[in-house]
Structure 1
Amino acid sequence: MTGSLNFWDYEVWRFVMMLAVLTGAMLLANLLRREIRPLRRSLIPSSVLAGFLILFVEKLYRAVTGASMFTTVALEALTYHGLGIGFIAVSLRTTEKLGSKQARRDVFNTSLVVVSTYLLQGIVGLAITLGLSYVIGNWAAGGILLPMGYGQGPGQAYNWGHIYETATAYPPFSNGASFGLTVAAMGFISASLGGVFYLGRMRRAGKLKDGIGNADEIEDLSAEMITAKGEIPLSESMDKFTVQAGLVLLVYLVSFGFMWFVTLGLDSLGGFWTGTVKPLLWGFNFLVGAGFAALFKLIFGVFKKRGVLKRQYINNFMLNRISGFMFDLMVAASIAAIDLSAFTHKEFVVPLMAICIAGMLITYWYNKKVCFRLFPDYPDESFLALYGMLTGTASTGIILLREIDPLFSTPASGNLIYQNLWAILLGFPMLLLLGVVAQSAAMSWITLALLVLLFCAMFALMYRRVFFKRKKQ
């Protein structure tokens, strides 16, 4: 052994041990869900349960040893990069073109429901924390993290909570990252409670059959699902999975280079560009990555048509495995990173509970109303898929949907996939507001008013056919 590296030093093992604990906790959580019926019926994902298990073990470990199992920075970094890499893997997948006009309309309507729900969650959350700030002195703009935690999930909730801890004209948001991550964790619980309640109502109404098969029985693992015709072989000079992972990380490298290059210009401008736009840019690492992934996919398609590439290099099955692993890891790490000491302060707990309860109720009510209006052919399936996604993640929505549509025979599951591009475009103005909401108390109120205006615009778009018919009549 030469140099300063010793294999027995803990620093050599730290990152690998963190991954081992996270994945081990997910395996244990998955076993508990399969064996304990109440846990299975709760519909809480294994990665969420794993995060809570690690939180519990961490508390015991700290009480006994006085030290921490992990550094919070490592868990937060894993959350941040897990979101970016997962989005790139999803965005690289090849997708089929939508056929009918009705299918395209349903996808567009789904994106409108998604974005309008984000806006409604932002309105409710921000109104609550702004009002409470005059009573208990909590951080006034904290409610804007409700759509990030419920609608976007742990990655975005952490990103913006962390940004608000430093890049704000307000006093720094103490424990902002933990606030955002706790909102996301409560979102999963809200998805479980609301989903189980709705499924119970369907069962009592005779609309839900018992004994629906589980994933083992309905999952399609045919050869066509794993590898398509014309793709590179599973193993030659380089393993096929290595190619997929390499493409994903190459896109992430290009994304980093782009953000770093833009940051050089922002730093030279200073002021607003450094204090607001720079954190906004790096907080959108997942969007930048998704954009470059779409560009790479377009280039691959052009090269394939012109005969430069003879074989198909992108494999959807393996990209799904990469994104699934990164999102599971991200969720478990994000919940494990929550700082429990923050729960001793009323300025943290009171607004947190208020926005989470209000967020669950308003999301349930609003999604039920619009899904029955916009998707009359499959309203229950649309509601469960959208409610699950808009309180947890897309995988939570799929879990709820599978309870009544195990073979995904309705368009509800496809709508969740195809709506992403529209949702990004329509939701971008709201994302820009995240960068200015914490500039001052006046700007927080202005942001609230703008959220209301944007919501009205989305609502009018959703009901455009109704308004158009009335005007025509």
Structure 2
Amino acid sequence: MNTIKIVFTDLATLSVLLLLGMFVRKKVKFIQNLYLPVSLIGGFLGLLLGPQILGHYTGVSLPLGKTIAQWPGILVNVVLGLSFFGTESSKNFGRLALSAVNQGGLVHQTQVCVGLGLTMVLMQFYPDLPLAFGLTPVYGFHGGHGTANAAGAALMQAGWADGLAVSNTMATAGLMSGIIIGMIIINLGVRRGYAQKVSKPQDVPQDIKEGIVPVVKRKSIGKGVTYNDALDPLALQLGFVGIILGMANILSRSLSWVHPLLKQIPLFACAMICGAVLSQILKKLGLADYIDRPTISRIAGVALDFLVCSAIATLSLKAFALYLVPMLIVIVTMIVVNVLVNFYFGYKMFDVDWFERTMGSYGLESGVLATGLMLLRVVDPKFETTGQESAASSAALCYPWSLPYVMFGPMLAFLVPGWMMLGGSLVLWIVFYIIARKFFWHPERKFSELMFGK
């Protein structure tokens, strides 16, 4: 079978899984109440019906070709390469945005420090456990599947064959815990009167639970920049995507010629740089209005859905079994720490709408912005509070400290001692903490009152 036929065969398989996932979410009440994304459901169906589970016991399975496992590594370049393409520079540096960004920095660094510190302890009992294992929690929880796949591929390139499988597992654990525990916290918070806009989570409309927009509520997902008889509008935006990927490939090869060490810089990092550069070039040429950001966002969203579905469907159960005990210890610890740190700092730092803003932050730090907005929608259905602005600010302005961990962390984990990485991460945590205490702290708010509902 030639390459293009393989691609279309894989596309058909993943499309079936996504449609099955959509059907399951629409029909199964339990799944609706958990708000599980269709891509996650479809991925689990693929894993269940694939050669690792159904095929292992029956000899008959869904035809998940080996090439499907390669999709996440390619699609992540699309998802991250479009991160800065056509975006406007954020001008919101007010107190609300800055407090959200600082709180996000504290949570991010806590995930890094706990992951590295716990791994260094576990390495005493599991000598074959690499230090890089300690970075996978922040890749999965803070970064989500997109970042986890990018960093996981870089870990494989750096020499850890199971890095991608472990990172993907962490991302799945983060997303699942974020949604499930998030809903438990929402129920508790609503009963205690923390939520301002809903009296009970059941106020969420049924169509949102099912995930299908009613006909009367449907909106355009983008704008046509070109006329169809000249060039299909979607083709123009896809053309930009192709140019970014082509530029990234050239940049990646050029870096390897400059110095062998630069080969370690992952392709997705080059794609992010090229996306931002192309956006600036078009702006300088007066062509920025050729970019339709809503359509670009939809392309990235499609790539992310197929990425998540293919990543979970091809999760390595052998790698999961190999790292079972360390992985369970780290995941459970990270879930507990993620809840406590998000709500402690959110309660102490956020002037207004602390519960709504913290729910958005908790979802963001357990997967992606979409998870945070989903949880926020439950407690603030019409986005009337500052929760959406807060979560968006944190997500948009976190790159200065999160990207270096993704771009260079996989390489450094094999080049520098663990104490050096942990020490540097602790220093940055302390910086964020000092800023929080100096500018945003509410000493009159007692965390014990929050915990026990007083």
- Given the two structures, how large is their TM-score scaled by the length of structure 2? 0.85
Alignment correspondent of 2:116 = 126
Amino acid at match of 2:18: M
Change (3 A) 1:90 1:438: closer
Amino acid at match of 1:464: K
8 Å contact from structure 2 (residues 350, 440) kept in 1: no
Q: Unaligned 5+ residue runs, structure 2? A: 444-454
Change (3 A) 1:76 1:264: farther
8 Å contact from structure 1 (residues 132, 138) kept in 2: no
Alignment correspondent of 1:75 = 68
Query: Shift in Å at residue 42 of structure 1?
Result: 1.2
Farther-moved stretch of structure 1 (89-98 vs 15-24): 89-98
Amino acid at match of 2:127: G
Query: Shift in Å at residue 289 of structure 1?
Result: 2.2
Change (3 A) 1:159 1:383: same
In 1, Cα distance between the equivalents of 2:8 and 2:77?
A: 20
Change (3 A) 1:290 1:162: closer
In 2, Cα distance between the equivalents of 1:302 and 1:385?
A: 35
Q: State the superposition RMSD in angstroms.
A: 2.8
8 Å contact from structure 1 (residues 47, 331) kept in 2: yes
In 2, Cα distance between the equivalents of 1:373 and 1:287?
A: 35
Is 1:147 the counterpart of 2:129? The answer is no
Per-residue CA distance 1:323-361 (angstroms, 9 max, x = gap)? 11011111111112211123443xx10110111111111
User: Equivalent residues in 2 for 1:313-332 (5 A)?
Assistant: 313-332=290-309
Q: 1:255 aligns with which of 233, 243, 248?
A: 248
Per-residue CA distance 1:155-203 (angstroms, 9 max, x = gap)? 33233334434524xxxx4522211111111111111222111111123
In 2, Cα distance between the equivalents of 1:33 and 1:381?
A: 25
8 Å contact from structure 1 (residues 218, 407) kept in 2: no
Change (3 A) 1:68 1:260: farther
SS in 2 for 1:91: coil
Amino acid at match of 2:381: P
Change (3 A) 1:97 1:455: closer
Is 1:85 the counterpart of 2:78? The answer is yes
Alignment correspondent of 1:447 = 421
8 Å contact from structure 2 (residues 117, 134) kept in 1: yes
Alignment correspondent of 1:288 = 270
Change (3 A) 1:34 1:382: same
Q: 1:181 aligns with which of 142, 149, 168?
A: 168
8 Å contact from structure 1 (residues 82, 326) kept in 2: yes
In 2, Cα distance between the equivalents of 1:429 and 1:341?
A: 30
Alignment correspondent of 1:465 = 439
Q: 1:39 aligns with which of 31, 37, 54?
A: 31
8 Å contact from structure 2 (residues 357, 391) kept in 1: no
Residue correspondences, number: 428
In 2, Cα distance between the equivalents of 1:11 and 1:80?
A: 17
Query: Shift in Å at residue 303 of structure 1?
Result: 2.7
Change (3 A) 1:219 1:262: farther
Is 1:136 the counterpart of 2:165? The answer is no
Q: Unaligned 5+ residue runs, structure 1? A: 1-8, 268-272
Is 1:312 the counterpart of 2:289? The answer is yes
Is 1:203 the counterpart of 2:193? The answer is no
Is 1:381 the counterpart of 2:373? The answer is no
Identity %: 18
In 2, Cα distance between the equivalents of 1:119 and 1:221?
A: 40
In 2, Cα distance between the equivalents of 1:316 and 1:222?
A: 15
Per-residue CA distance 1:83-127 (angstroms, 9 max, x = gap)? 22122334223448546x63xx33233333333322211211122
Amino acid at match of 1:278: K
Alignment correspondent of 1:23 = 15
8 Å contact from structure 2 (residues 154, 410) kept in 1: no
Change (3 A) 1:234 1:95: farther
